[in-house]
Amino acid sequence: MIKKRKNIRLAREQYELPSRIFSITICTDNRRILFKDPLIAGKITGTLSSGPFGNLTKRYAWCLMPDHLHLLISPVEGNLITLINGWKSYTANLILKQGIQNRCWQRSFYDHALRNEEDINGVAEYIVNNPVRAGIVEKWQDYPFSWHKWMKEPSF
């Protein structure tokens, strides 16, 4: 008997609402450490405001860790699942051009739709504090691969 995967997603139309903000976690395949190299990390974070996301999403916060990415994001146009899958494909090609072999990203990603009562600022602070909790830096401001919309845009 073939086991069917449980559908963990909301209804498809929920991913097309510009008012719906999602906290997204995208892990590397087998949690491989791919983003310790600042050049590669910079290329990946640079695609968050261009490439497949560009004007099609609104980004509130992000943090690229060595083996995963956290995003606080909403769609402006299109379906967020489709946009994320396009972004994963786009960045996988960039990573391959840097000489990294094999799969880059896990097959799926984790998403959490923020509820009205949830504090977007609090979620953004939680995201950018990931490197602090991981012991990489003492203050999130010292980590070059995190950002939230209430600070100035990073310069790479």
Distance CA 68, CA 33 (A): 8
**What's the confidence (pLDDT) of residue 154?**
46
Helix, strand, or coil (residue 84)? helix
Q: What's the mean per-residue pLDDT of the chain? A: 88
| Lowest-confidence segment of 45-54, 63-72, 74-83 by average pLDDT | 45-54
Average pLDDT over residues 101-114: 90
Domain ranges, ordered by start, for the chain = 19-148
pLDDT at residue 2 in the model: 67
Burial classification of residue 105, based on how many CB atoms lie within 10 Å of its CB (0-12 exposed, 13-18 middle, 19 or more buried): buried
Q: Identify the DSSP state of 122.
A: H
Tell me the percentage of the chain whose pLDDT exceeds 70. 91
Question: Residue 151 — pLDDT band, cuts 50, 70, 90?
Answer: confident
pLDDT confidence of residue 156: 40
Which position has the higher pLDDT, 153 or 123?
Answer: 123
The predicted pLDDT at position 128 comes to 96
Count CB-CB contacts under 10 A for residue 88: 19
CA distance 78 to 132: 34
Extract the tokens encoding 155.
């310069």
Residue 127 to residue 21: CA distance in whole angstroms = 14
How large a percentage of the chain has pLDDT more than 90?
65
| Cβ contacts of 36 within 8 Å, gap of 6 or more | 66
* Domain 19-148 top-level CATH class: alpha beta
Is residue 55 a contact partner of residue 83, using CB atoms and an 8 Å limit?
A: no
Give the tens place of pLDDT for each residue, 3-43: 666 666 788 888 888 889 999 999 999 999 999 999 999 99
